[in-house]
Amino acid sequence: MPTEIQSAYGGLLSSFVNALWSLVDPHEMTIDPDAVEMLLDFHDEIEPRLAKEGDLRPLGGFVGKIVGSAARFAALHHLGWYGPRGLPLPITVGSVARSIKLARYAIEHYRYVMAATGFVTQIAIADRIVRWCHRDQRSEFTRREAQRDLRISRVEEMEGPLRLLEDNGYVRSVGVQHAARTGRKPSDTFLVNRAVWQPGSVNSVGRAL
């Protein structure tokens, strides 16, 4: 790290120590009302994706705390931008916008790391596909439909789970059955074992196809 950056960072930390040294009680920061609305919108975006069939559910507690982390990121950005004179000022929309951008990056980085270590497994995605078929009482679906509705980011992530479901009798591939729109590669169709539709049978599907 360049010496001038180390010096500037050390000076910024020292200025905070000097500003807060004489305070007896903890200092409470405030936030602009529009910035609060931005955080609430981010919360409303993330929450459904943590549900049973959500694409963020396999990431567990990390993403469950990401909105709170975004608020803390915003406070740090605010103080980094204004220095000690920012302590009495409300956290701005600009700081929150940057913190949400950082939070989105953190989600994708965590998803990549967990996938690389095997945490986000083929079984987890396969389970989401079965629950999706059960919920919508699907008799068939295409690979593209499942990838789109379940918000799977890469088509390669669908290969293993679909093969696993076919090997265990949940679905059966019948190849390309429907012509694709102009310019798009045709997508394989899968027939769904009707046992998936039955209440309580999501986790005990036999080879009925």
pTM beyond 0.95 = no
Does the domain at 122-197 match CATH 2.60.15.10? Answer given as no
Torsion sign, CA atoms 109, 110, 114, 115: negative
Sheet arrangement for strand 189-192: 140-142, 189-192, 171-173
Residues ≥6 apart with Cβ < 8 Å to 187: 142, 143, 144, 145, 176, 178, 180
Residue 10 CA: distances (Å) to CA of 3, 29, 86: 11, 23, 18
Q: How confident is the model at residue 133 (pLDDT cuts 50, 70, 90)?
A: very high
pLDDT for position 204: 42
Tens of pLDDT along 179-206?
555 556 778 899 999 888 776 655 543 3
- Report which of residues 18 and 190 the model is more confident about: 190
Q: How far apart are CA 130 and CA 132, in angstroms?
A: 5
**Residue 22 is which amino acid?**
S
Mark residue 175 as left, alpha or beta (left: phi above 0; alpha: psi -120 to 50; beta: remaining). Answer: left
List, in sequence order, the alpha helices (H) in the chain: 3-20, 33-46, 61-64, 66-82, 93-116, 122-136, 143-149, 156-167
Confidence of residue 119 (pLDDT cuts 50, 70, 90): low
Per-residue pLDDT of 50-100, as tens digits, reads: 887 788 877 778 888 999 999 999 999 998 888 888 889 999 999 999 999
What distance in Å separates the CA atoms of residue 27 and residue 41, rounded to the nearest whole number? 27
For the chain, which residues make up each domain, given as ranges?
3-116, 122-197
| Average pLDDT of the residues of the chain | 84
- How far is residue 201's CA from residue 177's CA, in Å, rounded to a whole number? 28
